[in-house]
Each structure stands twice: as structure tokens, then as C-alpha cells.
Amino acid sequence: MEKDLVEYIAKSLVDDPAGVVVNVIEGEKSTILELKVSPDDIGKVIGKQGRIAKAVRTILSASATKSGKRVVLEILD
């Protein structure tokens, strides 16, 4: 569920939607989502002063509260 959400948001933001890859690493109490985009699009996903990345993380945490797990978004460059 969270993977699809991050993928959808990232593809909406970038110029190269085919370059968006989301890997899921499941832990006992938390889930790590690794987001990788094309090098030219990294700034679009992070945003000025990290505003877009922070907004995506806020949406993720709201989405994850019903599952009771902690979700961490890592943006890989």
C-alpha cells in the first residue's frame, strides 16, 4: 500500500517516470521504503529545503498509522 503511494507521488513529480524505483525492506516494527529516481529528477523529489520530501513522509506516516507500523522513506541518490 505505502509502496504504491510513494511510487504514484514520485512518478507525478518527475520528468522520467520510468526511472522511479521503490524497494521495500520489511522489519518487525518498521518498514523502510527506498526511493530511487533518475539523477536529473532528484531535486524534484526532494524539493527546496526538503519540503517535498517532508510532505511525502508526512503522508506516509498518516497512511501507516492504521497498520501500526512505522514507515521510513529513504531517498537514494
Q: What is the mean pLDDT of residues 58-64?
A: 90
Cβ of 31: how many Cβ atoms within 10 Å?
A: 19
Please report the pLDDT score of residue 49 as a whole number.
Answer: 96
pLDDT tens across 36-59, in order? 999 999 999 999 999 999 999 999
Separation between Cα atoms, residue 6 and residue 40, nearest integer Å: 18
Upper half-sphere CA count for residue 25 (Cβ side, 13 Å): 7
The CATH homologous superfamily to which domain 2-76 belongs is K homology (KH) domain (3.30.300.20)
Q: What percent of the chain lies above the pLDDT cut of 70?
A: 100
Question: Structure pTM?
Answer: 0.89
- Residue 15 predicted with pLDDT over 90: yes
